[in-house]
Amino acid sequence: MELRHLHYFKAVAESGGFGKAARLLNVSQSAVSEQVRDLEAEIAVPLIDRSNRNIRLTPHGEVFLTRVKEVLQLADGAVTAARRSFKGEEGTLSIGFFVGGIGPSFTKLIRAFRQKYKDITVSLVEMTPVAQHDALVAGAIDIAFTRVLPGSLKTELRSEIFYTERFSLVLPKAHPLADRESISVKELRGERFILNDRQNSPAVFDKVIALCDEAGFSPNIVATASVSSGVIALVESGEGIALLPKGSQVLGSDEVVFIPIQDAAASVDLVVAWSSRHERKIHQSFLTLARHFRM
């Protein structure tokens, strides 16, 4: 059974005759009659009562017509969905992010995208930057809001800067420097440093090391944590100080303070990244909108 058989049967049933159906379908009357007979033979059920001059559906044909309409409506919907997916207007989109590294316009972008593309199902997945890179390569997520890609992945993954984020010094409230309005990295010589571990956040780890090197010293690293919330918890516990991107402030508490870093180079990029190998039209729909929210 083909959709053509169902279209021909529906045309005959709704127009009340083979001749009218043929004109609607722009085919010969014999072709319509043949297709309907083939359909009846295939399902072994008489669908049309041909005993009278004006044809009418059998009771079985009436039941069949109801279901045929449903099938054809579903088929039309499938075609529409496929075309919208091809245009990047329908489907699914999985987006990786990490708390404290989304920038001030990320949530506005997600809301705007959902509003504009109501037929795209968006799922947000929290994971560390390195985990996002691996997930993009594997095709487990479609888009990542992450740190700068390592050189080894730049041929496979693509990225654009979404937001450049300044660093802040994170201190316990009781620290002698806690009342400063801003501070330079060189003033932190001799402090105990807590860093994001390089395995999960290489861009932030390397940037802190570079800032200290430019200030003329190597940091005394006393502890590391896999995520920024862990770094802040260690600072709050009095283990040391930390240099973190400003966005990490959302993870803070009343027991720590964030002080802007004065050094010109004290910033790190947040990028939106995707896999060129797994790229679809839906990616471009998202990226086009994301560029309007880029800061």
Kindly state the percentage of the chain with pLDDT values over 70: 96
Q: What is the pLDDT of residue 154?
A: 84
17 & 38 share domain:
yes
Count: domains in the chain: 3
d(CA 3, CA 9): 10
141 & 287 share domain:
yes
Q: pLDDT tens-digit profile of 175-234?
A: 999 999 999 999 999 999 999 999 988 999 999 999 999 999 999 999 999 889 999 999
User: Please, what is the average pLDDT of the chain?
Assistant: 88
pLDDT for residue 109 is more than 80: yes
- Using the CB atoms, write b or e for 156-191: b if 16+ within 10 Å: ebbbeebbebebbbbbbeebeeeeeeebebeebeeb
Q: pLDDT tens-digit profile of 42-67?
A: 878 787 877 776 778 888 778 888 88
263 & 168 share domain:
yes
DSSP 232-244: HHHHHTTS-BEEE
Q: pLDDT tens-digit profile of 231-260?
A: 999 999 999 999 999 989 888 888 999 999
What is the CATH number for 32? 1.10.10.10
Angle at 120 between CA 119 and CA 124, to 5 degrees: 145
Which range marks the domain in which residue 9 is found? 3-86
Q: Which of 48, 64, 86 is the last residue of a domain?
A: 86
102 in Cβ contact with 247 (< 8 Å): yes
